[in-house]
Amino acid sequence: MMKSMADVSSSEEEEESFSTKIINIVFVILLLDLLGFTLILPLLPSILDFYAQEEDDVYQFMQGAVDWFRGSIGIPLDKKYNTVLFGGLIGALFSMLQFLASPVTGALSDRYGRRPLLMVTTFGLVSSYAVWAVSRNFTVFLLFRIIGGICKGNVSLCTAIVADLPSPKARNRGMAMIGIAFSLGFTIGPLMGAYFAMSFRTADEGNVFFQAPALLALAFSIADLLFIWLVLPETLRTDVKTSSFGLHHSRDLLNPLALFCFSAVSRTKESPSKQRMEKLRRLGLIYFCYLFLFSGLEFTLSFLTHQRFQFTSMQQGKMFFFIGIIMALIQGGYARRIKPGKHIRNVQMAMITLIPAFILIGFSWNLTMLYSGLALYSFAAAIVVPCLSTVVSDYGSASQKGTVMGILRSLGALARAMGPILSSTVYWVAGAETCFFLSSASFIVPLALLSRPTDWSLKDD
């Protein structure tokens, strides 16, 4: 009996050690990925100005679309607003490509394994950064963003790797560490991008200012690829790999309505029970609603701070640095210690926090009000996505984790593509206060979906 208990204890220690190792590896993979991805963020206005001087048909076509949208909703003709809208158009294209690619990438990882798919997508990112490094016109630059959008599967694949971990406690820690990687990446990466762009421009006036950040992003992605190849073990067990990837399965991964219904999960032999599928669909809808509203605030925040407080690009950078630091502290200290079964309650608390956050930001007439709202906003942002991802990772069989997390990522990408369009329209048609007040009130929808009488635990399913 004592020997048996010792064996169990030893097995649990090995399991915990393996989980910790995987979580640390995933953190490094995502941090390298996000550092490369975020280098461009502070440079985008200058890059768009650079390409505006070129005679590029694709640029002129997209500028025409921006001008039409700006004129139709009454946005003033201002260089700053034009840059935000043009960047938003490129971001929406990137998100739509993510919406299409993430479910397919996740499903393929259920069949061929996480590691091979992660290497393929990372190699695609290497190729995209190489294209950016040599781009001298907008068409080639847009090609870089298209390749990146199709191949940016690292996040959904890393969440699938964490979902493969055996214990709920380990999965919670893993999702929190993914959140920390995001916060650090979006805090440090833009600063590095701005620094290397200025250093490169100072060192040699004859070179394109964004080439150094592009080469650095390329170096990060190559390092990421080598790290995956050398260090990451396969976390998907051979005995649970799925063999289903037929025509119907492919259609379910590309049809927006089927994605909201998680049809690719429900039509397999390993399909969860009816009760679990209902909960999974509701969680997907909650995730979409949250990111739809949240991404709208993110986008219109640049309008508000420029219009009301005359923020420069440097002040915008400091604001997002403030947000990133708070998120990293919350995720590193609080979110990763949330006990299994408490995630839905924490999501509800965070969404409730967003209501006063949006109101404070929208009605702020001094920096104290603005930053008070941003602090609440950062707290909620640090909690909701990691917690919802942890809960969703419990659904679906072991052979469907990649599909489930890929679909969840896809719904988030669709929300990020659509949310800024609606919020910017309301912002300029009805005003900042109305936009932010309506956004805060709209959180009643995901809160109502969370509060409907439901036992979110899986014990009775």
**pLDDT tens-digit map of 116-132:** 999 999 999 999 999 99
User: If we measure between CA atoms, which residue out of 224, 97, 175 comes closest to residue 401?
Assistant: 175
Instruction: Name the pLDDT band for 41 (thresholds 50, 70, 90).
Output: confident
Alpha helices in 210-312 (DSSP H): 211-231, 247-254, 256-260, 263-266, 274-309
Above 60 in pLDDT, residue 203? no
Above 70 in pLDDT, residue 294? yes
Tally of structural domains, the chain: 1
What gap in Å lies between CA 246 and CA 104, rounded to an integer?
A: 12
Run of H or E residues at 111: helix 79-112
Instruction: Name the pLDDT band for 201 (thresholds 50, 70, 90).
Output: low
Above 90 in pLDDT, residue 372? yes
Instruction: Name the pLDDT band for 206 (thresholds 50, 70, 90).
Output: low
Domain with 319, as residue range(s), is: 17-232+247-256+274-451
What gap in Å lies between CA 264 and CA 23, rounded to an integer?
A: 27
pLDDT value of position 53: 82
What gap in Å lies between CA 218 and CA 226, rounded to an integer?
A: 12
What gap in Å lies between CA 115 and CA 31, rounded to an integer?
A: 17
Q: Is residue 9 in a domain?
A: no
Q: Is residue 122 in a domain?
A: yes
CA distances from 39 to 42, 45, 168 (A): 7, 13, 34
Q: How is residue 18 written in tokens?
A: 């393996």
290 or 191, higher pLDDT: 290
pLDDT value of position 239: 65
Above 60 in pLDDT, residue 365? yes
pLDDT value of position 111: 86
Mean pLDDT of 345-349: 93
Above 70 in pLDDT, residue 66? yes
251: domain CATH number? 1.20.1250.20
CB 404 within 8 A of CB 396: yes
Above 80 in pLDDT, residue 9? no
CA distances from 21 to 50, 161, 162 (A): 44, 12, 11
pLDDT value of position 30: 94
Highest mean pLDDT among 291-305, 356-370, 392-406: 356-370
CA distances from 277 to 263, 284, 342, 396, 410 (A): 9, 10, 20, 8, 17
CB 185 within 8 A of CB 37: yes
Above 80 in pLDDT, residue 22? yes
Mean pLDDT of 158-165: 90
Above 80 in pLDDT, residue 269? no
Q: Is residue 146 in a domain?
A: yes
Q: Is residue 359 in a domain?
A: yes
pLDDT value of position 460: 46
Q: What is the pTM of this model?
A: 0.87
Express as a percent the part of the chain with pLDDT over 70: 89
CA distances from 413 to 33, 113, 183, 205, 340 (A): 17, 23, 18, 38, 27
Q: What angle do CA 250, 255, 259 make, to 5 degrees?
A: 95
Q: Considering all CA atoms of the chain, what is the largest pairwise distance in Å, rounded to the nearest integer? A: 80
Above 70 in pLDDT, residue 268? no
What gap in Å lies between CA 168 and CA 32, rounded to an integer?
A: 26
pLDDT tens across 224-258, in order? 999 999 999 998 877 666 655 544 566 788 788 88
Mean pLDDT of the chain: 85
Q: Is residue 165 in a domain?
A: yes
